[in-house]
């Protein structure tokens, strides 16, 4: 398969479309956890119950589809190859838990991949809406509509006092997890994240890196999300997160301005060195690739680099993960082989940019 | 007990973390725990670990530790009738077995929910349209009744009369719904 075709198939709308504040906010996500009253939760339910839940959702879709979403595709985890599951995971369309540990797990996916409804994850139903840029309210509205549509035929486990009942008490109440993925190179370069993260934690929000392990935030990409699901309305949870994200956006913008003022040439040097590494290396580890991609994206946002499309960061952060590299290679790769593949995929992708502009 | 990280301040928080089946214990002061806590959050993938928190609660609340010491005190074993999950099992796995568990473990759960959700223990968000039917009406009625009291105290009787009519209408609707639902 040609790289162009591979990329076109691999890219979901949240990675390529331009959203509000997309120079800093890569994507906005809403997740609602729901359970059906008559069945035991997934940690204890029987195979029959698990199958019945899938049937119930399937019937709902067949009975009256949710017109806004177009055709929905049902993917059964049991009938997917490990690599296919890995790729869905790397695109953030399913969770690692659904891919690896679920019993009769399934996923109902909208055509543009903005909506994915996970079935038999930690809860019976997890509605996920993933929008490009800073669009939390839009994503929440969409999730609410899907929720209402599903509820027309499913008796949810709901308690007047404590709300939607979930498998884990950390999700009870609204069952809502709202999160925003942000690219914050300015705050990292000016060493401000160590100060900012505890301050945000104090507000009941969690900040973490989404690529890399432990305390790393590869590619300077952070996810900010709510921790509390009980006692606040969905709108208030989203608003509280939005106000913190807005503050982060303006702090990131002023950090970039300060960098441009105080170390313009150093920054420009850094950006172009990273561009050089990406367009010339023959072996590259994910950590170095992520750092260079972050630099190049910053360079695009700050107009040092003018002829590369912005979504290169989103796209290549996803496409250079192990699952995608192996899918592109058409078979399993050892770590060292991946580093070679990663380098060549990035080089080819950057060449495509040149051709598009030339032609 | 002294904090194992800094060896200076007294340990106030106790976590257990299970890594590949091996149980590791942490006894930390507030300050070091905050730093560790961030590590937990970053490491565990699905937010911070509920298991750590529950294990911590077990250490803090001696009432929970007592059960199991006396094998003849059977009535102390709290178990969900629907799914057979015991409270001890819940503490271990951090997940409920079914919707009824919430009712069964209600008394034990309230302090846990408060701790998890910044002191909150009651829902003030969305109510499902269909099964939540009468809750909407009852919530509306509570709002109207409060307004009515206010209007009466302000001696705005005209508005109060309007509100009273609205409340009566809702009451009728509520009665009809409840009969229809049975
Ligand atoms: Zn300490
Ligand atoms: Zn139960």
Interchain proximity A233–B125, CB inside 8 Å: yes
Positive or negative CA dihedral for B55, B61, B62, B65? negative
Q: Tell the residue number behind the tokens 């994915």, with chain if given.
A: A116
pLDDT tens column, A199-231:
888 888 999 888 876 667 899 999 999 999 999
**Which segments of chain A have a pLDDT < 50?**
358-359
Q: For residue A40, what is the nearest residue in chain B, using CA coordinates?
A: B98
Q: What letter would DSSP give residue B98?
A: S
Task: Provide the pLDDT confidence category of residue B14 given band limits of 50, 70 and 90.
Answer: low
Q: Which residues of B touch A174 (CB under 8 A)?
A: 123, 125-126
Interchain proximity A225–B124, CB inside 8 Å: no
- Six-digit token pair at A345? 């995929």
Q: Looking at the predicted structure, is the pLDDT value of residue B20 above 70? A: no
Residue A309 is predicted with a pLDDT of 87
Alpha carbon of A199 to ligand 1 centroid (Å): 19
Residue B58 is predicted with a pLDDT of 53
Q: Which residues of B touch A173 (CB under 8 A)?
A: 117, 120, 123, 125
Average pLDDT value for chain B? 74
The phi, psi pair for A33, rounded to 5°, reads -100, 130
Q: Is A229 on the interface with B (CB under 8 A)?
A: yes
The residue with greater pLDDT, B109 or B15, is B109
- Six-digit token pair at A26? 């890569």
Region B20-37 average pLDDT: 61
Residue A101 is predicted with a pLDDT of 85
The residue with greater pLDDT, B30 or B150, is B150
Residue B23 is predicted with a pLDDT of 53
Task: Provide the pLDDT confidence category of residue B65 given band limits of 50, 70 and 90.
Answer: very low
How far off is chain A from B107, nearest CA to CA, in Å? 13
Task: Provide the pLDDT confidence category of residue B49 given band limits of 50, 70 and 90.
Answer: low
Q: What gap in Å lies between CA B135 and CA A172, rounded to an integer?
A: 18
Q: Is A128 on the interface with B (CB under 8 A)?
A: no
CB B79 within 8 Å of CB B104? yes
The phi, psi pair for B124, rounded to 5°, reads -130, 30
Residue A68 is predicted with a pLDDT of 79
List beta partners, residue A223: A181, A208
The phi, psi pair for B25, rounded to 5°, reads -110, 145
Q: How buried is B153 (Cβ within 10 angstroms: 0-12 exposed, 13-18 middle, 19+ buried)? A: exposed
Interchain proximity A95–B46, CB inside 8 Å: yes
Q: What gap in Å lies between CA A326 and CA A334, rounded to an integer?
A: 9
A170 vs B50, B109, B131: nearest CB:
B50
pLDDT tens column, B151-179:
999 989 999 999 999 888 888 887 876 66
Burial pattern A127-145, b for ≥16 Cβ within 10 A else e, equals: bbbbbbbbbbbbbbebbbe
Residue B86 three-state SS: strand
Q: Tell the residue number behind the tokens 């959700």, with chain if given.
A: B117
Q: Is A46 on the interface with B (CB under 8 A)?
A: no
How far off is chain A from B41, nearest CA to CA, in Å? 7
List beta partners, residue B16: B25
B112 vs A159, A163, A169: nearest CB:
A169
Alpha carbon of B25 to ligand 1 centroid (Å): 14
User: What are the helix (H) ranges across A114-233?
Assistant: 136-151, 185-189, 193-202
pLDDT tens column, B117-153:
988 999 999 999 887 777 878 878 888 898 999 999 9
Alpha carbon of B8 to ligand 1 centroid (Å): 6
Residue A14 is predicted with a pLDDT of 73
Interchain proximity A228–B118, CB inside 8 Å: yes
Q: Is A176 on the interface with B (CB under 8 A)?
A: yes
A343 CB-near residues (< 8 Å, 6+ apart):
A281, A282, A283, A284
- Six-digit token pair at A126? 């997890």
Interchain proximity A40–B98, CB inside 8 Å: yes
CB B119 within 8 Å of CB B111? no
ipTM: 0.86
Q: Is B110 on the interface with A (CB under 8 A)?
A: no
CB A70 within 8 Å of CB A110? yes
Residue A231 three-state SS: coil
**Parallel, antiparallel, or unpaired for β A176-183 and A125-132?**
unpaired
Q: Is B129 on the interface with A (CB under 8 A)?
A: yes
Determine the angle formed by the axes of helices A335-358 and A322-329, rounding to 10 degrees: 80
Alpha carbon of A215 to ligand 1 centroid (Å): 19
Q: What gap in Å lies between CA A157 and CA B7, rounded to an integer?
A: 47
Q: Which residues of B touch A231 (CB under 8 A)?
A: 117-124
Task: Provide the pLDDT confidence category of residue B104 given band limits of 50, 70 and 90.
Answer: very high
- A358-to-A38, A251, A308, A335 alpha-carbon distances in Å: 61, 37, 12, 35
Positive or negative CA dihedral for A353, A354, A355, A356? positive
Interchain proximity B123–A160, CB inside 8 Å: yes
Interchain proximity A169–B41, CB inside 8 Å: no
Q: How buried is A84 (Cβ within 10 angstroms: 0-12 exposed, 13-18 middle, 19+ buried)? A: middle
**Parallel, antiparallel, or unpaired for β A25-34 and A176-183?**
antiparallel
Q: Is B120 on the interface with A (CB under 8 A)?
A: yes
CB A327 within 8 Å of CB A83? yes
Residue B182 is predicted with a pLDDT of 43
Q: Looking at the predicted structure, is the pLDDT value of residue B101 above 90? A: yes
B131 vs A155, A169, A170: nearest CB:
A155
CB A280 within 8 Å of CB A344? no
CB A240 within 8 Å of CB A259? no
Q: Which among B148, B83, B36, B144 has a CA at the least distance from the CA of A42? A: B83
Q: Tell the residue number behind the tokens 């072996």, with chain if given.
A: A283
Torsion region of A212: left, alpha or beta (phi above 0 gives left; psi -120 to 50 gives alpha): left
Q: What gap in Å lies between CA A121 and CA A104, rounded to an integer?
A: 9
A170 vs B43, B45, B116: nearest CB:
B116
Q: Is B93 on the interface with A (CB under 8 A)?
A: yes
Alpha carbon of A320 to ligand 2 centroid (Å): 43
Residue B56 is predicted with a pLDDT of 63
Alpha carbon of B35 to ligand 1 centroid (Å): 10
């Amino acid at each position: 398969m040609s790289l162009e075709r591979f990329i076109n198939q691999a890219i979901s709308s949240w990675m390529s479309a331009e959203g509000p504040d997309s120079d800093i906010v890569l994507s906005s996500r809403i997740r609602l956890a729901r359970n059906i009253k008559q069945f035991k939760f997934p940690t204890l339910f029987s195979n029959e119950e698990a199958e019945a839940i899938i049937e119930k959702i399937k019937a709902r879709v067949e009975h009256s589809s949710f017109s806004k979403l177009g055709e929905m595709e049902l993917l059964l985890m049991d009938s997917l190859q490990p690599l296919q599951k890995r790729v869905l995971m790397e695109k953030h369309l399913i969770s690692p838990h659904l891919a690896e540990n679920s019993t009769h797990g399934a996923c109902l996916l909208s055509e543009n991949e903005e909506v994915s409804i996970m079935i038999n994850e930690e809860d019976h139903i997890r509605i996920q809406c993933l929008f490009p840029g800073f669009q939390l309210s839009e994503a929440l509205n969409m999730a609410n509509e899907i929720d209402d549509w599903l509820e027309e035929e499913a008796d949810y486990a709901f308690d007047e006092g404590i709300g939607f009942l979930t498998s884990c008490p950390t999700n009870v109440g609204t069952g809502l997890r709202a999160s925003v993925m942000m690219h914050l190179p300015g705050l990292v370069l000016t060493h401000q994240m160590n100060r900012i993260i505890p301050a945000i934690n104090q507000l009941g929000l969690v900040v973490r890196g989404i690529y890399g392990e432990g305390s790393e935030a590869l590619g300077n990409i952070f996810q900010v999300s709510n921790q509390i699901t009980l006692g606040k309305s969905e709108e208030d949870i989203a608003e509280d997160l939005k106000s913190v994200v807005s503050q982060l956006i303006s702090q990131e913008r002023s950090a970039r301005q300060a960098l441009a003022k105080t170390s313009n040439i150093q920054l420009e040097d850094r950006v172009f060195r990273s561009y050089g590494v990406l367009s010339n290396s023959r072996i590259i580890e994910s950590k170095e690739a992520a750092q260079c991609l972050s630099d190049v994206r910053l360079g695009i946002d700050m107009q040092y680099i003018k002829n590369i499309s912005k979504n290169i960061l989103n796209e290549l952060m996803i496409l250079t993960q192990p699952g995608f590299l192996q899918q592109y290679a058409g078979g399993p790769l050892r770590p060292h082989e991946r580093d070679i593949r990663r380098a060549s995929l990035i080089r080819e992708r950057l060449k495509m940019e040149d051709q598009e502009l030339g032609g | 007990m002294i904090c194992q990280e800094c060896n200076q301040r007294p340990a106030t928080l106790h976590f257990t973390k299970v890594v590949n089946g091996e149980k590791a214990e942490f006894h930390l002061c507030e300050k070091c725990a905050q730093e560790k806590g961030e590590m937990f959050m970053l490491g565990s993938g699905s937010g911070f670990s509920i298991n750590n928190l529950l294990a911590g609660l077990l250490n803090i609340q001696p009432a929970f530790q007592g059960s199991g010491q006396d094998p003849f005190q059977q009535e102390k074993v709290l178990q969900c009738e629907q799914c057979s999950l015991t409270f001890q099992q819940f503490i271990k796995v951090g997940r409920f077995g079914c919707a009824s568990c919430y009712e069964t473990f209600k008394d034990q759960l309230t302090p846990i929910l408060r701790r998890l959700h910044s002191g909150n223990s009651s829902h003030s968000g969305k109510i499902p349209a269909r099964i939540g039917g009468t809750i909407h009406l009852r919530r509306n009625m509570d709002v109207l009744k409060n307004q009515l009291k206010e209007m009466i105290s302000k001696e705005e009787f005209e508005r109060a009369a309007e509100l009273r009519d609205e409340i009566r209408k809702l009451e009728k609707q509520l009665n009809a719904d409840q009969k229809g639902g049975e």
